[in-house]
Structure 1
């Protein structure tokens, strides 16, 4: 229990929260089960009660646990966790089946991203469009896969921020963690020239205020991204149907 993860450079209470949180996400402490008593955690991790209590507060804030009189500190159902929290996302990624993870990520992007692009076309200000364009230009200029991935993530994040709708912003923020895995897998492929054209099509539609065009271009981009991962990973990933031609 409480295996050490890769985040041990952080302060002590964050290290404790990281170890306990990752154990919960891995299922080593099940839903409804109580955490060990404070003093036991102190002894197991060689830390003070103050450190443990701060870690417990951190995990409570992320929705993983709750403390009640007489019943102790217990694990909450995953439906009540803050699934967009960066640490919770990272703990999931540390143990996730990559193909299942990618399939779920595509489900989310399919449901949300075409609509976000359409909203961006309506609401984006000049600085929003400049950031989207900078992501596109960064992809075009990238000399390494790492630089290409970073620019690609920035491009998609900027679209969500350009909606000017704060309820879309947490999705953009989670992309720094969630999309990196997907984009890194696909970055070395020979599809890059086509991907650049498709990203430019999304940019152009947003820049000209064409909401329908932005939505359709995003659907095409996601469909081809899914196709690329099928070729690389050898399995299906859910992507949207291609847009019907408009009369």
Structure 2
């Protein structure tokens, strides 16, 4: 039941949580079903009861399971999971079809990022704008696709941090995991000169403290990024809802 994840190994209870969590996200154990008993998990994974209990606590903290007296530990519905948790995101990436994942990520970014960019234009402080400018310059000077993607991720993370609104920050923090696949795919295209112009337009609008232009620049950047994925992957990340926007 609990197959090994390809993720990096950590301490023992984290390894156990990783194997159980991946099984839940993969659908091996469906919502409402009970996990095997603590003793059974101990036998299956050859670990102590203390390790299993700590692993279950970790999974409960991520919203994947809940423990109740007399009914054991049961899997919660996906709506209850903490989808911004780094481990949950990683498990989803390992088990979700890449094209489906990319479409959902773009839907989130299209709904939120233009607003965050406009907010950054009015709420950012000098150090926020300096970090954003530095990330952009890193994209300009990148000699490899890997360096370009790393700076691109830093750029978009810093847009969200520059809102000075802590409710946007978890989205920025998840980008380290979630943006890499889509940006790596897009980085193989020939669009980089255009992309640099569009990122520059975002930076400059934020530096001018112009929320309207910042929002418009972010929308254009996202639309063209989606079009790149349509061309490279043959998928439409926006779908009908974005077309209507």
- Note whether the superposition's TM-score is higher than 0.5: yes
Cα distance change on mapping 1:38 and 1:72 into 2, 3 Å: same
Question: In the comparison of the two structures, how many residue pairs are matched?
Answer: 243
Give the alignment's TM-score, normalised by structure 1.
Answer: 0.96
Matched, 1:229 2:197: no
2:93 counterpart residue number: 93
Q: Deviations over 1:74-125 (max 9, x none)?
A: 0000101001000000000001111111110111000000000000000110
Residue in 1 that maps onto 2:35: 35
1:141 and 2:141 correspond: yes
SS in 1 for 2:66: strand
Give the CA deviation at 1:139. Answer: 0.5
Q: CA deviation at 1:6?
A: 2.0
8 Å contact from structure 1 (residues 63, 82) kept in 2:
yes
Q: Does 1:153 align with 2:161?
A: no
| Cα pair distance change 1:157/1:242, threshold 3 Å | farther
CA drift of 1:242 comes to 10
Does 2:102 align with 1:109? no
How many Å apart are 1:160 and its aligned residue? Answer: 0.1
TM-score by length of 2: 0.97
- How far apart, in 1, do the equivalents of 2:7 and 2:235 lie? 32
- Deviation string, structure 1 residues 107-165 (Cα, Å, up to 9, x no partner): 10000000000000001101000111111000001111110000000000000000000
Over 3 Å counting, the alpha-carbon distance change for 1:49 and 1:8 in structure 2 is: farther
Q: Distance in 2 between matches of 1:242 and 1:217?
A: 18
1:12 is the counterpart of 2:12: yes
Q: How big is each residue's C-alpha offset from its partner over 1:2-22, in whole Å with a ceiling of 9 and x where there is no partner?
A: 110123520000000000000
List alignment gaps of at least 5 residues for structure 2. Answer: none
Q: Which residue of 1 aligns with 2:52?
A: 52
Instruction: Quote the residue 1:206 is aligned against.
Output: 206
Q: Distance in 1 between matches of 2:8 and 2:105?
A: 27
